[in-house]
Amino acid sequence: MVESLPGELGAPALRLVAFVGDLLSIAVHGYAPQYKEDAARRALCAPYTGLPLADSRAIIAASGQRRAVAATIAADSVPLAHESAVAARRFARALDDLTRAYRAQGVTASEYLKTIALSFGLIEKLDERERRTFATLEALAAASDAKRLPGDAFNAEEFVSALEHGAKRTHRERSVPLERRPLAAREPEAARPVPRRKTHFSASSLGTFAECERRWYYRYVCAAVDDPGSSASFYGTAFHTALERFHEEFPRADAAPLDVLQRKLDGYLGTSFEHHRGDFETSVEFELQRRRALRTGQRYLTWFVERFRARPFTVIGRETAVELDLDGYDFIGFVDRLDRDDRTGNVTVVDYKTGTIPESAERYRDKVARLVDFQLPFYYFARTAAGDRVTRLALVPLKDAGRDVAPIELEVVPHAEHRSHSDATTGTIGLDELERARAKMTELAAALADAPLERFPPTDDPSACAYCTYANACRERPQRREDRFGH
């Protein structure tokens, strides 16, 4: 067993120990990719890589949940300043070098530490105190090497334990617990211009920008993938495809007896999920999501038929591409479903939602009024411009297999009542509210296309961060600390 660290390490020294520990972990856990990746992400955010923290986090955001940060760096998918790009590539190369070094025949702890120091040009970057800490690490490494029996391999895991033990002891011996210390003030971010967007806009990208510019930056500038490959996203894709095909064959609920409709919908769901089988992480996950979809499909069909019986209608559009020019800015999107009332010819715009949606019509209306949701207003204007008489907007929840499908439905009226706290799923929305959303869409499109984009401030609404995919990468959010040296 190697000796442990002295118990009086300061925060900078602890940071260095954590960095070295993470790099050792990458070598130790090469066989457990996720664990290795967690360590790589922490190391990427350490101050020894030469990367500004904002760039490290942009790389992490672009990597999403599954992709390795090294792969994101290799793909060059994050626009970085030249120095940052060089530092990022050096980091990725260093991970490779370190993994190779650990596997080399007869490598010693001291040699491994030297590889770390060389890979990151560490010695030049450390201050006096950190250098002393690194010297202590070297002494520990030398002690570890001296105790090894001939033929024994360098045991990095044991070395990591010694570091961790020393770090924990330091933590305990401090009179003020780490958690209660005031956070160090963050240095202000440098402005980082990004290319202007002369392109098509989507209502959802503008909604993201309106809700949190930083999230928009992660999603659309870094090309970060929102929840890449998650079972939730494949569930949504498979369900949408199945409904598109189902309504292509059955645009009306009276086109066949209920049992035939059910069998057909089950078949389309089965085929669609089968198509995505390989995308789910495990076969158990696939099976769970497929069954969830089949149960939700039953509820969906019940609603579809009941609604038809109450007011017969025909599905006239599925995954309909919509385009709209708003004051010279091009918008595009796809409407999941368009229903035309048999008696009046009025059209309902239907959007399927396999994720979370507002719980009541008033809550959705509130999002439109706060100018953070443009999807249904955009579909309204796009289909009206295409000649439809759109009178109703609907969000159909397809997430919860345990609940009846109860869509959020808003009838479009010239002026709606003042907003209330009603929990009803049906309500009204004023044309004036939709017009305001349209004006805001143009304003945001102009901001994205014409104005310099240099800063991406975070939202000031903390509730927007609750389910943000990029929370881990966002410097304004408390980063999930899996750093075992910090606790």
Measured from the CB atom, the residue of 36 and 214 that comes closer to ligand SF4 is 214
* The pairing of beta strand 426-430 with beta strand 329-341: unpaired
CB 170 within 8 A of CB 136: no
Please report, to the nearest 10 degrees, the dihedral formed by the alpha carbons of residues 275, 279, 282, 286 taken in order: -40
270 CB-side CA count, 13 A: 6
Smallest separation, CB 168 to ligand SF4 (Å): 30
- By rule CB under 6 A, what string of x and - marks binding of each residue 271-290 to ligand SF4? --------------------
Q: For residues 394 and 351, give the distance between their C-alpha atoms in angstroms, rounded to a whole number.
A: 6
Q: For residues 124 and 390, give the distance between their C-alpha atoms in angstroms, rounded to a whole number.
A: 67
CB 431 within 8 A of CB 384: no
Smallest separation, CB 84 to ligand SF4 (Å): 20
Smallest separation, CB 183 to ligand SF4 (Å): 16
Give kind and range of the element (H or E) at residue 200.
Answer: none
* The pairing of beta strand 313-326 with beta strand 329-341: antiparallel
The residues that bridge with 349 in the sheet, in sequence order, are 338, 393
Q: Does residue 465 interact with ligand SF4 by CB under 6 A?
A: yes
Q: For residues 375 and 379, give the distance between their C-alpha atoms in angstroms, rounded to a whole number.
A: 6
Smallest separation, CB 34 to ligand SF4 (Å): 22
Closest CA to 204 of 395, 375, 368: 375
Smallest separation, CB 60 to ligand SF4 (Å): 12
Smallest separation, CB 237 to ligand SF4 (Å): 23
Give the residue, chosen from 39, 393, 437, 474, that forms a contact with ligand SF4 under the rule CB under 6 A: 474
CB 46 within 8 A of CB 21: no
The DSSP output letter for 453 is B
Measured from the CB atom, the residue of 215 and 307 that comes closer to ligand SF4 is 215
Which residues in the 214-273 window bind ligand SF4 by CB under 6 A?
214-215, 218
CA angle 62, 468, 235 (to 5 degrees): 85
Measured from the CB atom, the residue of 415 and 480 that comes closer to ligand SF4 is 480
3-state secondary structure of 315: strand
Smallest separation, CB 15 to ligand SF4 (Å): 23
Measured from the CB atom, the residue of 59 and 107 that comes closer to ligand SF4 is 59
The angle, 0 to 180 degrees and rounded to 10, between the axes of the packed helices 156-173 and 128-147 is 130
Give the residue, chosen from 164, 205, 459, 485, that forms a contact with ligand SF4 under the rule CB under 6 A: 459
Q: For residues 83 and 75, give the distance between their C-alpha atoms in angstroms, rounded to a whole number.
A: 17
Smallest separation, CB 189 to ligand SF4 (Å): 13
Give the residue, chosen from 13, 18, 458, 485, that forms a contact with ligand SF4 under the rule CB under 6 A: 458
Binding residue count for ligand SF4, defined by CB under 6 A: 14
Measured from the CB atom, the residue of 19 and 374 that comes closer to ligand SF4 is 374
Q: Does residue 477 interact with ligand SF4 by CB under 6 A?
A: yes
Structure tokens at 184: 């160090």
Q: Does residue 464 interact with ligand SF4 by CB under 6 A?
A: yes
Q: How far is CA 412 from CA 244, 314, 372, in A?
A: 25, 20, 19
Q: For residues 152 and 138, give the distance between their C-alpha atoms in angstroms, rounded to a whole number.
A: 19
Closest CA to 400 of 355, 447, 465: 355
Edge-to-edge strand order for the sheet containing 426-430? 313-326, 329-341, 347-353, 390-397, 408-413, 426-430
Smallest separation, CB 58 to ligand SF4 (Å): 11
Q: Does residue 470 interact with ligand SF4 by CB under 6 A?
A: yes
What contacts 282, CB < 8 A, 6 or more positions away?
none
Give the residue, chosen from 97, 189, 319, 476, that forms a contact with ligand SF4 under the rule CB under 6 A: 476
Smallest separation, CB 458 to ligand SF4 (Å): 3
Smallest separation, CB 474 to ligand SF4 (Å): 3
Smallest separation, CB 366 to ligand SF4 (Å): 18
- Where does this chain touch ligand SF4 (CB under 6 A) — which range of 155-163, 209-217, 266-274, 360-368? 209-217
Measured from the CB atom, the residue of 219 and 307 that comes closer to ligand SF4 is 219
Q: How far is CA 257 from CA 254, 262, 265, 293, 299, in A?
A: 7, 9, 12, 21, 16
Smallest separation, CB 217 to ligand SF4 (Å): 8
Q: For residues 325 and 319, give the distance between their C-alpha atoms in angstroms, rounded to a whole number.
A: 20
Measured from the CB atom, the residue of 175 and 463 that comes closer to ligand SF4 is 463
Q: Does residue 208 interact with ligand SF4 by CB under 6 A?
A: no
Structure tokens at 224: 């970060």
Measured from the CB atom, the residue of 194 and 464 that comes closer to ligand SF4 is 464
Q: Does residue 377 interact with ligand SF4 by CB under 6 A?
A: no
Which residues in the 315-354 window bind ligand SF4 by CB under 6 A?
none
Give the residue, chosen from 301, 326, 347, 468, that forms a contact with ligand SF4 under the rule CB under 6 A: 468
Measured from the CB atom, the residue of 289 and 469 that comes closer to ligand SF4 is 469
Give the residue, chosen from 155, 471, 479, 486, that forms a contact with ligand SF4 under the rule CB under 6 A: 471
Q: Does residue 210 interact with ligand SF4 by CB under 6 A?
A: no
> Which residues make up the interface to ligand SF4 (CB under 6 A)?
212, 214-215, 218, 458-459, 464-465, 468, 470-471, 474, 476-477
